[in-house]
């Protein structure tokens, strides 16, 4: 999944360099060396370990192919998210320089896709909450698979996006995405299985390395800055970037319009009617706009783009916050359930 210099433009490469350099620099500062001197050599040899482990392939049953470890998730579990990002950045730098695997300009893209996404997104937001302190193997395998699927697919999406924006390859965005995501589904399964197999072995051999032990607790980093950063990005995207959304109908509406002549199917029957009335009463922001504006922005707009609309901005921000509250509530419920289960 390494990006190559040949496929990206200086604007995309430079932007991703800045983003990755900023995040790696931040992660580097977050590593508390004076209070945890062991971490420096541990990070160094862990990086060398991932390098060596990437060269060992294992057979994938019923496919005749083989796969190997990526390493981001494993490092995040062993070292914590911030040290793991620094280690992944160093691995990718050595790969770019010594093995010419991914180019120098594409290094920022590769650190973001293969380092930031698994270490600062998939691990703290998925694997850590899913695992908790329960290291039973079904939970470990399920957690690793889910986190790897999200991390690797996000990385693949990043590759497609960066390639499409660069404009070097003529492959259309949607076709490239349809090619990349299924291929990386298989890679993600390999990554999840390999990570889970290694963790299951070392936690069995060295129970003191399991999450919840004193050493693991001291190595775990805070995800608060990352969560805050993602919140700010979500609010900006929901509040402002929604103005730049296409005014054309989406794929489903387009298909329905072609089939029946209008973008929305008429509600027929008593069940549809009562559900539509219920939706009208409960919809606080109908059609992503303020209810006081009478007609929806889609109906009143003259097709101008960008469609700057205060109602759309409020809807975007309220929607983002609702999703955040819902996700936080689910996480809280999951944590309480975990604690109850762990209590004797």
Site for other proteins in 164-203 (CB under 8 A): 167-172, 175-176, 193-194, 196-198, 200-202
Listed in order, strand segments (DSSP E) in the chain are 58-59, 66-67
> How many residues lie near other proteins (CB under 8 A)?
76
Q: Footprint of other proteins on residues 6-35 (CB under 8 A)?
A: 6-10, 13-14, 24-25, 28-29, 31, 33-34
User: How many C-beta neighbours within 10 Å does residue 129 have?
Assistant: 17
Q: Footprint of other proteins on residues 74-93 (CB under 8 A)?
A: 86-87, 89-91, 93
3-class SS of residue 66: strand
> Binding to other proteins by residue 104, rule CB under 8 A?
yes
From CA 129, how far away is CA 110, in angstroms rounded? 26
Q: Binding other proteins by CB under 8 A: which of 173, 178, 182, 206?
A: 206
Q: Binding other proteins by CB under 8 A: which of 40, 326, 328, 333?
A: 40
From CA 268, how far away is CA 273, in angstroms rounded? 7
> What are the backbone angles phi and psi of residue 67, rounded to the nearest 5°?
-145, 170
Tell me if 109 sits within 8 A of 162, measured CB to CB.
Answer: yes
3-class SS of residue 98: helix
> Binding to other proteins by residue 156, rule CB under 8 A?
no
Tell me if 286 sits within 8 A of 278, measured CB to CB.
Answer: no
- Region binding other proteins by CB under 8 A among candidate stretches 1-9, 218-226, 230-238, 276-284: 1-9
Q: How far is the CB of 122 from other proteins (least distance, A)?
A: 20
Q: How far is the CB of 227 from other proteins (least distance, A)?
A: 23
Q: Binding other proteins by CB under 8 A: which of 15, 19, 49, 307?
A: 49
């Amino acid at each position: 999944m390494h990006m190559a210099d040949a496929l990206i433009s200086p604007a995309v490469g430079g932007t991703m360099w800045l983003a990755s350099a900023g995040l790696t620099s931040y992660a580097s500062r977050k590593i508390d060396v004076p209070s945890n001197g062991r971490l420096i050599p541990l990070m160094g040899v862990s990086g060398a370990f991932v390098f060596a482990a990437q060269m060992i392939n294992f057979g994938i049953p019923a496919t005749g192919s083989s796969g190997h470890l990526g390493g981001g998730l494993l490092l995040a579990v062993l070292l914590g998210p911030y040290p793991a990002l620094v280690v992944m950045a160093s691995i990718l730098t050595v790969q770019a320089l010594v093995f010419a695997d991914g180019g120098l300009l594409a290094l920022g893209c590769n650190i973001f896709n293969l380092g930031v996404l698994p270490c600062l997104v998939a691990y703290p937001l998925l694997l850590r909450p899913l695992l908790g302190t329960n290291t039973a193997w079904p939970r470990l395998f399920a957690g690793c698979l889910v986190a790897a699927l999200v991390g690797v697919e996000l990385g693949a999406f990043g590759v497609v996006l960066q390639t499409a924006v660069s404009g070097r390859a003529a492959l259309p965005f949607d076709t490239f995405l349809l090619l990349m995501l299924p291929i990386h589904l298989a890679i993600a399964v390999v990554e999840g299985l390999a990570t889970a197999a290694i963790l299951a072995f070392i936690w069995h051999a060295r129970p003191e390395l399991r999450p919840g032990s004193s050493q693991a607790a001291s190595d775990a980093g805070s995800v608060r800055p990352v969560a805050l950063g993602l919140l700010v990005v979500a609010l900006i995207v929901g509040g402002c970037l929604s103005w730049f959304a296409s005014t054309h109908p989406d794929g489903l509406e387009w298909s329905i319009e072609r089939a029946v002549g209008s973008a929305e199917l008429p509600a027929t029957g008593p069940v549809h009617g009562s559900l539509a009335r219920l939706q009208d009463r409960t919809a606080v922001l109908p059609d992503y706009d303020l209810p006081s504006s009478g007609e929806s922005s889609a109906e009143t707009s003259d097709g101008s783009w960008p469609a700057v609309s205060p109602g759309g901005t409020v809807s975007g921000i309220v929607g983002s916050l609702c999703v955040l509250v819902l996700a936080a509530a689910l996480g809280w419920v999951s944590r309480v359930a975990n604690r109850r289960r762990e209590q004797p």
